[in-house]
Chain A
Amino acid sequence: MNAREARPGDLGISASRHAGREAKRELPGDVDVWVFVIGEMVVFAAYFAAYVVDRGRNQELFLQSQQLLSPGLGVVNTLVLLTSSLFVALSVRATRTADARTASQCLALGGACGAAFALIKSFEWYSKLRVGLTISTNAFFMHYYMMTGVHFFHVVLGLVLLTILWREIHHTDAPRAWVIESGACYWHAIDLLWIVIFALLYLMR
């Protein structure tokens, strides 16, 4: 076991833990959930590819259609989802230190942010639909609704999972860390995928 001194660049980990880290690298959550998450990431990559390929064929159309989106809402949503991820990560941390109160509070806040994301997204869709921009308007909006739609489904699934996690912390005497970690991992993956979707749909020129 290497006993190294903590360097200033280390992320606030105590020296003893740092030394221990080199000896045992643990998988956050469990392997099965990672298989799931990586699979989802690969599948979303296919959606991204389809989008960029279509974009290449219809550059002008995509550029013009992008002007009809509300990047402000996109930014707000991104920030909201990032915040929810922070809370979920804090919750995982609190679970490990057996701080059930903080853990469940952070989970609730994370879930609230997630719900806010869903609401803002619904409002965004509604405002687009109201001016007649539907999924069959053009190729860009097809991708827009499909990518944000599939992502939305994952957010809803994630909210269900967060609720299950919250119950795990609240209603059991010894919440299992790997359960919280697994659910958190999935939630962060959703955040990660949104980061890419945001760049592709709202910002990319």
Chain B
Amino acid sequence: MPSVSRGRLTGVWALLSIMTIASWWTGSRSDGHAYALVTGGVLLFALIKSRLVIRYFMEVRFAPRWLRLTCDAWLITVFAMIFALYLGRP
């Protein structure tokens, strides 16, 4: 079972941390009325972070296709659902 190298794992972690800060910053840009844009940005960061965790930490990158597809399907479904429900508010 191939492993991701230590350096790369740490790199992914650093990227995740930076994106966490970035999404925090995005979320705090809400004094205007561009709520949908802010939320979209926040969710996009969350999506990218989630996929990184799945691919590199959970090692789905090296997993059989059914697992890769299932995880991606979950990501797309969940985030699309969240954003759609968010936008479709009465």
Do chains A and B directly touch (beta carbons under 8 Å) in the complex?
Answer: yes
A33 to chain B, nearest CB (A): 11
Please state if B13 and A83 are interface contacts (CB–CB under 8 Å): yes
The 6 closest A-B pairs by CB, nearest first: A12-B5, A203-B27, A56-B89, A199-B46, A28-B59, A52-B85
B24–A71 touching, CB < 8 Å:
yes
Q: Known contacts A11-B4, A25-B62; is A85 also within 8 Å of B38 by CB?
A: no
* Dominant secondary structure of chain A at its interface with chain B: helix
Tell me the A187-205 residues at the B interface (CB within 8 Å). 188-189, 191-192, 195-196, 198-200, 202-205
Q: Are B57 and A85 in contact, with the CB atoms below 8 A?
A: yes
Contact B6 A200 (CB under 8 A): no
Q: Hey, which bits of chain A sit against chain B, CB under 8 A?
A: 11-13, 17-18, 20-21, 25-28, 34, 38, 41-42, 45, 48-49, 52-53, 55-57, 59, 71, 74-75, 78-79, 82-83, 85-86, 88-90, 92-93, 96-97, 177, 181, 184-185, 188-189, 191-192, 195-196, 198-200, 202-205
Determine the residue in chain B with the shortest Cβ distance to A72: B24
Taking a contact as CB atoms under 8 Å apart, the answer to whether B63 and A27 are in contact is yes
> How far is A83 from B9 in the complex, measured between Cα atoms in Å?
11
Residues of A within 8 Å of B61, CB to CB, are 11
When chains A and B are docked, how far (Å) is the Cα of A185 from the Cα of B90?
39
- The answer on a CB contact under 8 Å between A86 and B13 is yes
Q: Across the interface, do B38 and A59 meet the contact criterion of CB distance under 8 Å?
A: no
Q: Do A85 and B53 have beta carbons less than 8 Å apart?
A: yes
Residues of B within 8 A of A49 (CB): 81-82, 85
13 pairs from A and B in contact (CB 8 Å cutoff): A11-B8, A26-B62, A26-B63, A52-B81, A71-B24, A86-B10, A89-B57, A96-B1, A188-B54, A196-B50, A198-B46, A199-B43, A199-B45
Contact B56 A89 (CB under 8 A): yes
